[in-house]
Chain A
Amino acid sequence: MKNEIRTLALEKVEFGVGDRTILQPLTTTLSGRGVTGLVGQNGSGKSTLLKLLARQQRATSGRIAFGGRAIEEWSDREFARKVAYLPQHTPLAAGLLVRELVAMGRYPWHGALGRFGPADQAAVDEALALTGTDTIADRFVETLSGGERQRAWFAMLVAQQAQLLLLDEPISALDVAHQVAVLRLVRRLSEEHGVGVVIVIHEINMAARFCDQMIALKNGSLIAQGPPAELMTTEQLEAIYEVHMGTLEHPDTHSSMAYVRF
């Protein structure tokens, strides 16, 4: 599983609606390994980029290749076995137990008619255990708190056993404790299970702490890409967010921390 091809190559990828361009022509390569954070202001095109990678939207022009093949050429289920996507706003999932929601992550593997076999059951159990949702497995999704619901959806993605997770602001609505819990889980999946993660994230310090790579977008253009240490400088941060910012040293990790200056 670890040596499989999973590189995402973007070639002049552009997206626009009408005469409004949301994503300027973008050429870059994502290794599909480790955790990559997408940062930038609201409306900078982060979510759009993620949706293009997840095949939720089609690029207006340009080419996205996954594992050397254009993503349009992958069949629906084949692609879903490799790439999982968590939208920013998850639907209500009315009338579903957590266990049933997680089991839906197995669809790419068993399809519409295939048997829900022991391997599927094992994957679901593992996902429940890994995300700590096994204790709430028999509750209705709509009765869960925000943090629990996020974990349940995350468990579905884990059960999907994809090599690449695309997460759209998974921690935006969570408190600090739940944010750290989700991001630790992301790191663990990346380190222990070799899963690649692309994550849209607003909390810049969290991003710097948990990501291996960061990509900054501004007005639909890529303005910086590199390890967190390269982006966590006053100049870069002010360029990204257009507010006065400063950095200081974290007392424990000695890495840079960003703060807003007044």
Chain B
Amino acid sequence: MRRRFTAIFWALRQLAGRAALTVSGPAAASPGPLFSALALMALAGATLAFLLAKPLTHVLNQPAATGYDVVRMVLLYATLPRLVMALVCGAGLGASGAILQQVLRNPLAAPTTLGIDAGARLALALATLFTPSLLGVGRDVVALLGSAISTLLVFALVRRREFSALSLVLAGLVVSLYCGALSAILVLLHNRLLASLFIWGGGSLSQQSWGPSIGLGIRLGTLGVLLVLLVRPLSVMDLGEESVRALGLSPARLRILAVAVAAAMAAFVTSSVGVIGFIGLVAPILARLSGARRFAGQLVWSTIIGALLLLFTDGAVQLFTGATSEFVPTGAVTAVLGSPLLLILLPRLKTVVSPPSFTGSRIAAPVRLPGVLIAASGCALLIAVTLLVGRGPAGQWQLLSLEGWRHVVVWRWPRLSASAAAGALLGVAGTILQRLTGNPMASPEVLGVGAGAILATALSLFVFGTASGLGATMAAMIGGAVVLGLIVALGRRSNFAPERVLLAGIALDALIDAVVGVLSATGDPRAVVLLGWMSGSTAEVGPRDAVQTGLAAVLLVSASLLAARWLAILPLGAPQATALGVPLARARLLLLLLAAALTAAATPVIGPLTFVGLMASHIVGTLGIRRPVSALLGAAVAGAAVMAVADWLARVAAFPIQLPTGLVAAMAGAPFLMVLLNRRSAFS
């Protein structure tokens, strides 16, 4: 389980001109995290020098108290507090991310994983719409309340599972998907009222006084004291659960404490400045990549690197955007700078010998024939309900009559079958990726194919002014292909080692999300068009799209069955697969390409947010289906069913408004997954 990254800060070593090139384990000579920190400090210093030179000389040359001095006031009460805020927020997020990656034993974990930001965002959206008076009390109070409720919800969900790392991650994902989907729907329905959420969602650091930064500093400092007590117990986590228990600690209590502290830190930051997601993910990774081996070191360096990275980013934002810097969300830009850094360092990531198996902790009783029958009749019932039940012109519920059938069904079947086909495609893609990488958080999104498609669509929207028709489809396909090409190019050197491909995909994702975030925060009305496209609306799907997607589903799902043997052997780890004669690099590449093709085929129908891909395979897993062929088919059926229900709900729930199916899928599937998560497993 131990994911150990012993690697060298490659770029810096080039700068330093050091000669040693090989990494031979933890003892390898490495410039160390101090180097990364110093380099970041130099960068931040240079930016600050440019930024502060003019106002500082102005203030220094002007004797104090010479009346109304705007430059002086801006420097003292806006620029400097903002820089301090950047340092404090970066430090808090860096520390929070380091704790979460340690506790959850997952290098992809970040404060956003637990739904802290999604809860805050939903709370803000709800307060803005329904009880605006609450915002008078304080936006940060509302956000904090939202984060607290979502975190408690996560805790409540995993209470029965001893707060195991896997179930924490899963429950966090479910809660954040759910809150995220709800607030996205609210934004789509009331976008004029909620435009400010775009900027908040992008994390804006602009300040008007010293109050917030000092307040946040005090709050984080208090939590920091608690952290000191947690460092030693958390270091033991590297040895595994048994050793933790043998050393007299309770793993469950330790996890809940650590997660609570990390969540509180991230929630304080989020409530003050909005979502700055990428720092919490990338700072701990950078700390490890630059050679911090032990947890205490990782925590300290992650905090320092997070603070400096955010300071540098914010300095750069202020420097380059000048007067409009208030409206450029720093959080989004962090990813623009952080992602390339992550990509440069990625080749130094030490490959983990065998992927951790995640299915083992939750083996449910195997499904027997009655189960299959129940599932089949359930599906038949589902098709009947989704086709026949709808709402009439006046909004009344009605069952489709025989004479109505001919006129109405032509409108219903294309979107229903296209949704179901897309669900099947994504369910299979998610299953393949999770088996290939051994990471339960792997979903079609992490390939970055969807994100590439969004970016290309966004570009075509902003450059050519259209996000529909053949041009947009072409743009999306080219965008997806370019991202896939990049991932393959980056993965080639490591024989497509899963964790590198995942991190590369996530870096690209964050980069592209950031660009979309910046575009959205400009307040351009086209951002709402883009958001609509991203949330996956099936209302305009025609018979041709439906047939195309259906054919793609049949072909690609059948193709994936051909890879079933690889999917059975690969989870045993690379040495076993090699010993049995599986062509490792070729098998991984083919599976990645297959997952990309599956994702790409579904994207035109339900957009790039592929919650279904994440959920379907977990639904199948919790039902106790484990053999590759049945798991693939099961995921296809589960994905199709979730999407069919989602499409129906999207059609009827807010009639006559058609909700985006992709978002509704998250809302329909998430509770189902929660119920399954809470089910008792066969072995405990």
Closest CB-CB distance, A170 to chain B, in whole Å? 14
Contact of A112 among B566, B573, B626, B627 (CB under 8 A): B566
A98 proximity list for chain B (CB < 8 A)? none
CB nearest to B357 among chain A residues: A94
Known A-B contacts A80-B581, A108-B580; A143 and B683 likewise in contact (beta carbons under 8 Å): yes
* Separation of A78 and B357 alpha carbons in the complex (Å): 28
In the complex the two chains form, is A104's CB within 8 Å of B580's CB?
yes
In the complex the two chains form, is A112's CB within 8 Å of B565's CB?
yes
Contact with A along B110-148 (1 / 0, CB 8 A): 000000000000000000000000000000000000000
In the complex the two chains form, is A140's CB within 8 Å of B363's CB?
yes
CB nearest to B21 among chain A residues: A18
Interface centre among A17, A20, A54, A107 (most CB of B within 10 A): A107
Closest CB-CB distance, B563 to chain A, in whole Å? 7
In the complex the two chains form, is A56's CB within 8 Å of B575's CB?
yes
* Separation of A87 and B361 alpha carbons in the complex (Å): 24
In the complex the two chains form, is A95's CB within 8 Å of B579's CB?
no
Known A-B contacts A17-B22, A107-B569; A91 and B357 likewise in contact (beta carbons under 8 Å): yes
Main SS of chain B's interface residues? loop
CB nearest to B682 among chain A residues: A140
A85 adjacent to chain B (CB < 8 Å): yes
Interface residues of B in 498-536 (CB under 8 A from A): none
A191 adjacent to chain B (CB < 8 Å): no
A160 adjacent to chain B (CB < 8 Å): yes
A107 proximity list for chain B (CB < 8 A)? 565, 569, 580-582
Closest CB-CB distance, A193 to chain B, in whole Å? 19
* Separation of A110 and B583 alpha carbons in the complex (Å): 14
Contact with B along A55-84 (1 / 0, CB 8 A): 110000000000000000001111111001
Contact of B579 among A18, A20, A85 (CB under 8 A): A85
In the complex the two chains form, is B579's CB within 8 Å of A80's CB?
yes
* Separation of A71 and B22 alpha carbons in the complex (Å): 26
B562 adjacent to chain A (CB < 8 Å): yes
B235 proximity list for chain A (CB < 8 A)? none
In the complex the two chains form, is A84's CB within 8 Å of B360's CB?
no
* Separation of A95 and B681 alpha carbons in the complex (Å): 13
Contact with A along B14-27 (1 / 0, CB 8 A): 00000000111100
B249 adjacent to chain A (CB < 8 Å): no
* Separation of A104 and B358 alpha carbons in the complex (Å): 20
In the complex, number of A-B residue pairs with CB atoms less than 8 Å apart: 84
Contact of A55 among B565, B578, B627 (CB under 8 A): B578
B578 proximity list for chain A (CB < 8 A)? 55-56, 76
In the complex the two chains form, is B24's CB within 8 Å of A100's CB?
no
B576 adjacent to chain A (CB < 8 Å): yes
Q: How large is the interface on B (under 10, 10 to 19, 20 to 34, 35 or more residues)?
A: 20 to 34
In the complex the two chains form, is B580's CB within 8 Å of A87's CB?
no
CB nearest to A54 among chain B residues: B579
Closest CB-CB distance, A142 to chain B, in whole Å? 6
* Separation of A170 and B476 alpha carbons in the complex (Å): 53
Closest CB-CB distance, B242 to chain A, in whole Å? 13
Interface residues of A in 113-128 (CB under 8 A from B): 113
A75 proximity list for chain B (CB < 8 A)? 581
CB nearest to B361 among chain A residues: A94
In the complex the two chains form, is A87's CB within 8 Å of B576's CB?
yes
A80 proximity list for chain B (CB < 8 A)? 579-581
Contact of A84 among B361, B563, B579 (CB under 8 A): B579
Known A-B contacts A79-B581, A108-B580; A93 and B572 likewise in contact (beta carbons under 8 Å): yes
Closest CB-CB distance, A66 to chain B, in whole Å? 14
* Separation of A13 and B578 alpha carbons in the complex (Å): 21
A177 proximity list for chain B (CB < 8 A)? none
B568 adjacent to chain A (CB < 8 Å): yes
In the complex the two chains form, is A76's CB within 8 Å of B357's CB?
no
A37 proximity list for chain B (CB < 8 A)? none
* Separation of A84 and B573 alpha carbons in the complex (Å): 15
* Separation of A84 and B580 alpha carbons in the complex (Å): 7
In the complex the two chains form, is B359's CB within 8 Å of A95's CB?
yes
Closest CB-CB distance, A105 to chain B, in whole Å? 7
* Separation of A54 and B357 alpha carbons in the complex (Å): 24
In the complex the two chains form, is B580's CB within 8 Å of A105's CB?
yes
CB nearest to B579 among chain A residues: A85
A77 proximity list for chain B (CB < 8 A)? 581
B583 proximity list for chain A (CB < 8 A)? 76
Known A-B contacts A76-B581, A80-B579, A104-B572; A18 and B22 likewise in contact (beta carbons under 8 Å): yes
Interface residues of B in 1-56 (CB under 8 A from A): 22-25, 28
In the complex the two chains form, is A95's CB within 8 Å of B357's CB?
yes
A260 adjacent to chain B (CB < 8 Å): no
A1 adjacent to chain B (CB < 8 Å): no
In the complex the two chains form, is A91's CB within 8 Å of B572's CB?
yes
A91 proximity list for chain B (CB < 8 A)? 354, 357, 572-573, 576
* Separation of A76 and B583 alpha carbons in the complex (Å): 6
CB nearest to A94 among chain B residues: B360
B562 proximity list for chain A (CB < 8 A)? 112-113
In the complex the two chains form, is B24's CB within 8 Å of A17's CB?
yes
Closest CB-CB distance, A15 to chain B, in whole Å? 12
B626 proximity list for chain A (CB < 8 A)? 95-96
B28 proximity list for chain A (CB < 8 A)? 18
In the complex the two chains form, is B360's CB within 8 Å of A76's CB?
no
CB nearest to B572 among chain A residues: A91
Contact of A81 among B359, B565, B572, B581 (CB under 8 A): B581
* Separation of A4 and B359 alpha carbons in the complex (Å): 42
Contact with A along B566-593 (1 / 0, CB 8 A): 1011011101101111110001000000
* Separation of A112 and B565 alpha carbons in the complex (Å): 6
A104 proximity list for chain B (CB < 8 A)? 568-569, 572, 580
Contact with B along A139-164 (1 / 0, CB 8 A): 01011000000000000000010000
* Separation of A81 and B361 alpha carbons in the complex (Å): 33
A86 proximity list for chain B (CB < 8 A)? 579
* Separation of A90 and B353 alpha carbons in the complex (Å): 12
Closest CB-CB distance, A146 to chain B, in whole Å? 14
* Separation of A112 and B583 alpha carbons in the complex (Å): 10
In the complex the two chains form, is B360's CB within 8 Å of A95's CB?
yes
Interface residues of B in 534-567 (CB under 8 A from A): 562-563, 565-566
A81 proximity list for chain B (CB < 8 A)? 581
* Separation of A56 and B576 alpha carbons in the complex (Å): 9
* Separation of A241 and B565 alpha carbons in the complex (Å): 44
In the complex the two chains form, is A108's CB within 8 Å of B581's CB?
yes
Closest CB-CB distance, A23 to chain B, in whole Å? 15
A84 proximity list for chain B (CB < 8 A)? 579
* Separation of A61 and B134 alpha carbons in the complex (Å): 72
CB nearest to B568 among chain A residues: A104
* Separation of A110 and B627 alpha carbons in the complex (Å): 18
In the complex the two chains form, is A95's CB within 8 Å of B22's CB?
no
A76 proximity list for chain B (CB < 8 A)? 578, 581-583
* Separation of A157 and B361 alpha carbons in the complex (Å): 26
Interface centre among B569, B576, B578, B581 (most CB of A within 10 A): B581
A95 proximity list for chain B (CB < 8 A)? 357, 359-360, 363, 626
* Separation of A175 and B581 alpha carbons in the complex (Å): 32
Closest CB-CB distance, A102 to chain B, in whole Å? 12
* Separation of A92 and B363 alpha carbons in the complex (Å): 14
CB nearest to B578 among chain A residues: A56
**Pairs A–B under 8 Å by Cβ, sample size 9:** A17-B22, A17-B24, A78-B581, A79-B581, A84-B579, A86-B579, A87-B575, A107-B582, A113-B562
Which residues of chain B have a CB within 8 Å of any CB of chain A?
Answer: 22-25, 28, 354, 357-361, 363, 562-563, 565-566, 568-569, 571-573, 575-576, 578-583, 587, 626-627, 683
Which residues of chain A have a CB within 8 Å of any CB of chain B?
Answer: 17-18, 20, 54-56, 75-81, 84-87, 90-96, 100, 104-105, 107-108, 110-113, 140, 142-143, 160
Q: Which 7 pairs across A and B sit closest by C-beta, in order of nearness?
A: A94-B360, A80-B581, A94-B357, A77-B581, A85-B579, A18-B22, A108-B581
Additional 9 contacts, C-beta under 8 A, given A107-B569, A111-B565: A17-B24, A56-B579, A80-B579, A87-B576, A94-B571, A95-B360, A95-B363, A95-B626, A104-B580
